[in-house]
Amino acid sequence: MSDETPTSGEETEKERVDRELIEFLNEVRVVLPGVQVLFAFLLTLPFTGTFDTITGYELFAYSIAFYFTAMAAVLMITPTSFHRLRFRKGDKEAILRASNRLILGGIACLGVAIIAVVWLVSELVFTDVIANMIAVVAAAIVVLLWLVLPLQRRFRHG
């Protein structure tokens, strides 16, 4: 498809890229506040009185959650910087491709962080065995809904 006038209701290449960019921005608007809230929560934990009581495994889970949430935030905010520096250069398609990769990386980091937080909280509330089971279920749900389901649909429908 070219940038020429579309026929029979088809969108031009420019219209498609503009539409995809708007869809992308709407998706980021949904996920980024959750990442920011999780990051803020994790930032405050070391300053609470109970943080000193966590064990080695719990500290490891906290560290995983904290650093993966930070990385998710960085990856998900990067498209804004990319766009601001390149938006008037006629580079919208490249911005969209790079931003898509960055957001996918951010979502993967967020998945790891959520699983670590679920395990950490479960470890503090339940026995080790129950906490581990809950974390495995959380991991399975994240992988199933965020990876398997979309990829299955992609492979079935091209």
Burial label for 19, CB within 10 Å (0-12, 13-18, 19+), is: exposed
Convert the pLDDT of each residue in 86-99 to its tens digit.
777 777 888 888 88
Amino acid, res. 60: F
Give domain status of residue 7, yes or no: no
57: CB partners within 8 A, 6+ apart:
123
Look at residue 47 and tell me if it is in a domain.
Answer: yes
In a domain, 107, yes or no: yes
- Residue 23 is part of which domain span? 13-157
Number of domains in the chain: 1
Question: How far is the C-alpha of 26 from the C-alpha of 43, rounded, in Å?
Answer: 26
Question: pLDDT digit string (tens) for 81-138?
Answer: 887 887 777 778 888 888 899 999 999 999 999 999 999 999 989 999 999 999 999 9
**118 lies in some domain:** yes
Is residue 144 included in any domain, yes or no?
Answer: yes
- Residue 6 is assigned to a structural domain of this protein: no
Residue 27's identity, in one-letter code, is E
**Is residue 92 domain-resident?**
yes
Instruction: Give the Å distances, CA to CA, from 18 to 14, 62, 93, 150.
Output: 6, 40, 9, 23
Question: Is residue 87 assigned to a domain?
Answer: yes
